């Protein structure tokens, strides 16, 4: 049986969290690393919107009637539905989805403006950062009570939100390291040093249309 095919881009936070879920679910896929400026025809045929990640399931596999998953959260959910040895889906599933909704809708909006402030001259970069900090403050408060966002164990929210906090921190790492979020800083650093994240950030050569992709697994 052929492996599912994952179209990915190493630095995209959506693709990062999809790969993290695959790692935690111990699911092998054929990874096809793309170049955003030259998106492969094969990927666009599956998903005309042209964003990553995209997962093409193997023959005979479906999720809610779909053989192509175009959203990172659907890929995460599918992977962990196959195998979830650490029980990520069991940790406050409703709260996990709600927190990721806030990340994907509000926090991502301010993150984009903070990171690319020159494209959004309506306000200063400092203003955009302050708006994003409202979410950071919420995460800091959660982590003041427990080692992970929703308790003593890793949840879907941890792996779903971490890549975006990482991106926010990297806009101005000196500022982030000095900001009043010690628990969030420790949580992020723990993730960045983890075996799972280091595997997720392995570099792969860009996929060419006439080639096989790389096998991606833990």
The C-alpha angle with vertex 137 and arms to 150 and 153, in degrees rounded to 5, equals 15
pLDDT of 183 over the 80 cut = yes
Q: Give the domain extent around 147.
A: 88-197
Please state the rounded mean pLDDT for residues 90-113.
98
pTM summary value: 0.95
- Whether residues 144 and 188 fall in one domain: yes
- Whether residues 19 and 76 fall in one domain: yes
Question: Around Cβ 207, how many Cβ atoms within 10 Å?
Answer: 22
Percent of the chain whose pLDDT exceeds 90: 92
CATH of the domain at 167: 1.20.1050.10
pLDDT at 161: 98
CA 4, CA 20: separation in Å to the nearest integer? 16
Number of domains in the chain: 2
Model confidence band, residue 66 (pLDDT cutoffs 50, 70, 90)? confident
- Whether residues 28 and 63 fall in one domain: yes
Do 197 and 20 meet the contact criterion of CB atoms below 8 Å apart? yes
pLDDT of 181 over the 80 cut = yes
Do 7 and 32 meet the contact criterion of CB atoms below 8 Å apart? yes
Q: Which residues pair with 6 in a beta bridge?
A: 31, 55
- Whether residues 99 and 164 fall in one domain: yes
CA 35, CA 22: separation in Å to the nearest integer? 21
Please state the rounded mean pLDDT for residues 91-115.
98
- Whether residues 92 and 141 fall in one domain: yes
- Whether residues 123 and 191 fall in one domain: yes
CATH of the domain at 59: 3.40.30.10
Please state the rounded mean pLDDT for residues 27-44.
95
Q: Is 92 left (phi over 0), alpha (psi -120 to 50) or beta?
A: left
Average pLDDT along the chain: 96
- Whether residues 37 and 78 fall in one domain: yes
**Sign, CA torsion 205/207/210/215:** positive
- Whether residues 184 and 97 fall in one domain: yes
| Residue written as token pair 């959260």 | 73
- Whether residues 187 and 101 fall in one domain: yes
Model confidence band, residue 218 (pLDDT cutoffs 50, 70, 90)? low
Model confidence band, residue 1 (pLDDT cutoffs 50, 70, 90)? low
Do 30 and 215 meet the contact criterion of CB atoms below 8 Å apart? yes
User: What's the order of all strands across the beta sheet hosting 5-8?
Assistant: 68-69, 54-56, 5-8, 29-33, 214-216
């Amino acid at each position: 049986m052929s492996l599912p095919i994952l179209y990915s881009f190493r630095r995209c936070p959506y693709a990062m969290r999809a790969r993290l879920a695959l790692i935690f679910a111990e699911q092998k896929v054929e990874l096809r690393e793309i170049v955003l400026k030259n998106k492969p025809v094969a990927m666009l045929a599956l998903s005309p919107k042209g964003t990553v990640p995209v997962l093409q399931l193997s023959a005979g596999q479906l999720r809610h009637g779909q053989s192509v998953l175009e959203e990172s959260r659907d890929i995460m959910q599918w992977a962990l539905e196959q195998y979830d040895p650490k029980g990520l889906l069991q940790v406050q599933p409703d709260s996990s989805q709600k927190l990721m909704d806030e990340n994907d809708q509000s926090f991502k909006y301010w993150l984009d403006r903070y990171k690319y402030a020159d494209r959004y001259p309506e306000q200063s970069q400092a203003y955009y950062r302050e708006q994003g900090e409202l979410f950071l403050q919420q995460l800091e408060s959660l982590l003041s009570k427990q080692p992970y966002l929703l308790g003593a164990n890793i949840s879907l929210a941890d792996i779903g939100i971490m890549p975006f906090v990482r991106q926010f921190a990297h806009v101005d790492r000196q500022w982030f390291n000095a900001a009043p979020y010690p628990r969030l800083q420790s949580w992020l650093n723990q993730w960045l040093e983890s075996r799972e994240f280091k595997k997720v950030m392995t570099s792969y050569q860009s996929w060419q249309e006439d080639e096989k992709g790389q096998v991606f697994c833990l």
